[in-house]
Structure 1
Amino acid sequence: EQQTSCTGKLQQTTGLIQFCIEALKETDSAAFLQVGTMLIHRVANTDVTWHQEVTNAAPRVSPIVDLTLDDTPLLRAIDNLNFIQMKPPLAPTIIPEDCSAENNSVTVAWQAPNHSFVEGYVLEMDDGNGGDFREVYCGKETICTVDGLHFNSMYNARVKAFNSTGEGEYSELIGLQTAEVAWFTFDTQLSGGPCSGLNFTNDNATVSADGWEHRVALGSVGFSRGIHYWEFTVDKYTADTDPAFGVARIDVARDKMLGKDDKGFAMYIDRQRSWFQHNSVHERRVEGGISTGSTVGVLLDLERHVLSFLVNEMPQGSVAFRDLYGVFYPAVSVNRGVTLTLHTAIDAPQMDYHH
């Protein structure tokens, strides 16, 4: 209301000023003298009135605002707060019934510690041979599967929780035994994918090729420790060709016979005889070949670091290769006219390594 009144006074004063300006423009001196005295009094009166009513007028509203706040909900919320001292979490608890081992993979499950603030977990495992522990998982999940482990090995696992304050204590250890013998198939991606020229059937256990050029197929697991044995049955052998059996590094050449480069270790065989081959060097011819229905066994002994072969369950010559260290994948190379089926999870035969 006071603001509206002041605005009206300002508009009246502005109008008076504009009227005076127009009067000063009057060219008739007699007329100007008639209104001059009146305008002087009017302006003087307006000036006095302005100072009395506007300039010196006190505000009708107090500058102090009376705010009454209802702080009851805030006080109630403060009373309900639970303050805890931040400290590292307690040890998680392993859930044995949810832990398992399958082939060369293990699954570890645990539950969060009670009365602890947890931001994440760290799962550690040893090397399956009683060695040092190393971190294999860090995250918020309470279950983890670790693949690509050694076969026939006992792995110990432990887990700890952490938050911004620090890391807690380790859980109790749990031991998980991987499979004694390896089960695997051909790996279509490791073997070159859809453009490899290979045909995989029977749940990737059977392989054949369309063309005359040799193509390498790799198994789905790599070995760096232990004794491993697998066999192939010759389902079809109609051409005068030389399939090659053995092991290879992961970066072996896929477009040539196994053993033609330094990444493959192989025995290639025809209807009458076989040769051992590595880095295009073939040697030690052994009499005895294959036909439809034959079996070819591959024995990789990484305890002695040697590779041997069997044909129809009989040793094909002496030890083929020695001083094998690192990671090796089961491998074959085939071309048109040959179909092979892989058989795994077989106990290794006893061999005489002195010959």
Structure 2
Amino acid sequence: MIGIRKVIFKGSVPSFASKEKGKSFRETNTLSTPNRDSNIDLSVINSLVYCESSALDYAATETELSQNLQQLSEKARSTTEFIQRLKGMADKVNENCSEFEVVVSSQCDALIQAIHERKRQLLDFIRQDKDVKLRTLKDQVSTCTCKLQHTTGLLQFCIEALKETDSAAFLQVGSMLINRVANIDITWHKDVVTSPRISHEFDLTLEDKSVLRSIEQLNFIQMKPPCAPAVIPEECSAENNSVTIAWQPPPTSYVEGYVLELDDGNGGEFREVYCGKETICTVDGLHFNSMYNARVKAFNSTGEGEYSDLIGLQTAEVAWFSFDPCLAPTELQFSEDNCTVACEGYEHRVALGSVGFSRGVHYWEFSVNRYDSDTDPSFGIARLDVSKDQMLGKDDKGWSMYIDRQRSWFMHNSVHEQRSEGGIQPGSTVGVLLDLDRHQLSFYVNEEPQGPIAFQDLYGVFYPAVSLNRGVSVTLHTAIDPPSDSEES
């Protein structure tokens, strides 16, 4: 503890001694240092501040060191775990190496087995060729031997005849023997071939250079996703509402298959339309007057590669099509490249077009070739699974206008409505306007509107259709422009 000291001066009084009277020397010469109490308080405060600052520095240092130690400890722990993983990977390397050796050995064994199998086939071929040669030579030997025996017999007979002393007897057979010998001599080169029919050599050489090159090129490849295939523009095409895309494999990649994708023909999202090993694909049933973008990518067991460059293909602006006999009942007869249809039965039968529509504006016409009876041919559209053994429009899969010589009606699901005056006769035309932008169907007779808009709210895929029976024949006309007044409807 710090005390307060008093300073006492002896001898002469300092110049600053007190001059007050009535005070003792001790009293007058006792000096208290000016501001001493104040200085002592500051020292104490400074000491306390220093102690507190030291304590704070210690705590901060201790905290920082603890944090650093904790971080270092985490790193040491993660490094220890990493070392354990490395050791585990070393074990996996040994295990995978053994498995891979087994796979490679089995593949090489399969190649060796294939070589042995091919060797067996080649040796069998050689033996078969040998048998053919031996059989041919044997046949030739047999033929020559037989000819030689006959000739030898004739020679012996002629020699005996020459020994004949009876001239009359010799003359009886002499001319015959002369002719016989002369004939054999003339035909000898035809009957006896003096060269082998077949060579004793095997005119074959085993071509093994390509196989040896393949064996020399037998090596490991690093399995990774393949590069992008290259589309071949000159082999790509669009016809009617189908497109054909061709591509070539990436030259330095292992490919197990390809995925072909097409957008919706309106700049929408791509969707997969083909997956397989072929390098050419035709996609049918697309929208008309649409630009389709196509792309293709390759894949293998490690994953899928990058997409190829896009290629755009434009489908036909207007649809041209015919009837599809494969979808028609047997009572219908088709001609003129499946554009003309007739029916031999008395019951109505439905014929469908070869293409379906789900977007755009489409117009086609039927020309009436024959109309002999009082029947009602029906024209319109239908779903693919429409009932084909009754009049078009009788079920909910058909929308039609049936017409006779004087008037017409619209019909769907057996509901008749909108009777309109005006009929057909041989030479008349019936037009069908399917506007799927507005989702409505209209009809024309001789290029004039037949009644109001027949049907609305049409969504989905629709096929051109007609139903007819005995006495009626019509011809389909496609890829034609709709009547001019259709734009106003």
Normalised-by-shorter TM-score class: 0.7 to 0.9
The answer to whether the Cα contact below 8 Å between 1:237 and 1:292 also exists between their aligned partners in 2 is: yes
* Alpha-carbon displacement from aligned partner over 1:299-348 (angstroms, at most 9, x marks no partner): 00000000001110111111100000111111001011110000111123
Please report how far the alpha carbon of residue 142 of structure 1 lies from its aligned counterpart in structure 2 after TM superposition. Answer: 0.9
Counterpart in the other structure of 1:179: 316
Matching residue within 256, 261, 264 for 2:395: 261
Matches for 1:203-282 after TM superposition, within 5 Å? 203-282=337-416
- The structure richer in strand per residue is 1
What SS does the aligned partner of 2:370 have?
strand
> Could you say if the C-alpha distance between residues 307 and 163 of structure 1 is closer, same or farther in structure 2, counting changes exceeding 3 Å?
same
> Could you say if the C-alpha distance between residues 293 and 83 of structure 1 is closer, same or farther in structure 2, counting changes exceeding 3 Å?
same
Counterpart in the other structure of 1:95: 232
The answer to whether the Cα contact below 8 Å between 1:208 and 1:340 also exists between their aligned partners in 2 is: yes
> Could you say if the C-alpha distance between residues 218 and 79 of structure 1 is closer, same or farther in structure 2, counting changes exceeding 3 Å?
closer
What SS does the aligned partner of 1:144 have?
strand
> Could you say if the C-alpha distance between residues 188 and 81 of structure 1 is closer, same or farther in structure 2, counting changes exceeding 3 Å?
closer
What SS does the aligned partner of 1:135 have?
strand
Counterpart in the other structure of 2:465: 331
What SS does the aligned partner of 1:189 have?
helix
Q: In 1, distance between residues paired with 2:486 and 2:316?
A: 25
Q: In 2, distance between residues paired with 1:236 and 1:80?
A: 72
The answer to whether the Cα contact below 8 Å between 1:319 and 1:353 also exists between their aligned partners in 2 is: no
Counterpart in the other structure of 2:252: 115
RMSD: 1.7
Please report how far the alpha carbon of residue 93 of structure 1 lies from its aligned counterpart in structure 2 after TM superposition. Answer: 0.6
Name the amino acid aligned to 2:274.
Y
Counterpart in the other structure of 1:341: 475
Please report how far the alpha carbon of residue 273 of structure 1 lies from its aligned counterpart in structure 2 after TM superposition. Answer: 0.9
* Alpha-carbon displacement from aligned partner over 1:197-232 (angstroms, at most 9, x marks no partner): 111111111111112211111111111111111100
Matching residue within 411, 418, 422 for 1:284: 418
The answer to whether the Cα contact below 8 Å between 1:93 and 1:171 also exists between their aligned partners in 2 is: yes
Counterpart in the other structure of 2:327: 190
Q: Which runs of 5+ in 1 are unaligned?
A: 1-76
* Alpha-carbon displacement from aligned partner over 1:255-290 (angstroms, at most 9, x marks no partner): 111111111100011111111111111111111111
Residue 149 (1) aligns with residue 283 (2): no
Name the amino acid aligned to 1:316.
Q
Q: In 2, distance between residues paired with 1:285 and 1:80?
A: 80
Matches for 1:18-33 after TM superposition, within 5 Å? none
Residue 317 (1) aligns with residue 451 (2): yes
Q: In 1, distance between residues paired with 2:348 and 2:222?
A: 68
Larger relative CO (CA 8 A, sep 6+): 1 or 2? Answer: 1
Residue 304 (1) aligns with residue 448 (2): no
The answer to whether the Cα contact below 8 Å between 1:236 and 1:340 also exists between their aligned partners in 2 is: yes
Name the amino acid aligned to 1:88.
P
Counterpart in the other structure of 1:49: none
Name the amino acid aligned to 1:162.
F
Please report how far the alpha carbon of residue 84 of structure 1 lies from its aligned counterpart in structure 2 after TM superposition. Answer: 2.9
Residue 126 (1) aligns with residue 258 (2): no
Q: In 2, distance between residues paired with 1:229 and 1:110?
A: 36
Name the amino acid aligned to 2:303.
G
Name the amino acid aligned to 1:206.
T
Q: In 2, distance between residues paired with 1:256 and 1:133?
A: 40
Name the amino acid aligned to 1:89.
P
> Could you say if the C-alpha distance between residues 78 and 221 of structure 1 is closer, same or farther in structure 2, counting changes exceeding 3 Å?
closer
What SS does the aligned partner of 2:455 have?
coil
Q: Which runs of 5+ in 2 are unaligned?
A: 1-213
Name the amino acid aligned to 2:299.
F
Residue 138 (1) aligns with residue 271 (2): no
Q: In 2, distance between residues paired with 1:95 and 1:330?
A: 35
Name the amino acid aligned to 1:325.
Y
Residue 161 (1) aligns with residue 298 (2): yes
* Alpha-carbon displacement from aligned partner over 1:150-194 (angstroms, at most 9, x marks no partner): 1111110000011111110000000101111111111112123xx
Q: In 2, distance between residues paired with 1:352 and 1:331?
A: 20
TM-score, normalization by structure 1: 0.75
Q: In 2, distance between residues paired with 1:190 and 1:79?
A: 56
Q: In 2, distance between residues paired with 1:92 and 1:292?
A: 57
> Could you say if the C-alpha distance between residues 82 and 294 of structure 1 is closer, same or farther in structure 2, counting changes exceeding 3 Å?
same
Name the amino acid aligned to 1:122.
V
The answer to whether the Cα contact below 8 Å between 1:318 and 1:353 also exists between their aligned partners in 2 is: no
Name the amino acid aligned to 1:114.
P
Please report how far the alpha carbon of residue 141 of structure 1 lies from its aligned counterpart in structure 2 after TM superposition. Answer: 1.1
Q: Which moved more, 1:252-261 or 1:80-89?
A: 80-89
Q: Which runs of 4+ in 1 moved over 6 A?
A: 77-80
Q: In 1, distance between residues paired with 2:252 and 2:352?
A: 50
**Pairs aligned (count):** 276
Q: Which moved more, 1:214-223 or 1:341-350?
A: 341-350
Name the amino acid aligned to 1:90.
C
Larger Rg computed on CA atoms:
2
Please report how far the alpha carbon of residue 132 of structure 1 lies from its aligned counterpart in structure 2 after TM superposition. Answer: 1.1
Name the amino acid aligned to 2:244.
T
Identity of aligned residues (%): 76
* Alpha-carbon displacement from aligned partner over 1:38-64 (angstroms, at most 9, x marks no partner): xxxxxxxxxxxxxxxxxxxxxxxxxxx
Q: In 2, distance between residues paired with 1:81 and 1:239?
A: 78
Name the amino acid aligned to 1:239.
S
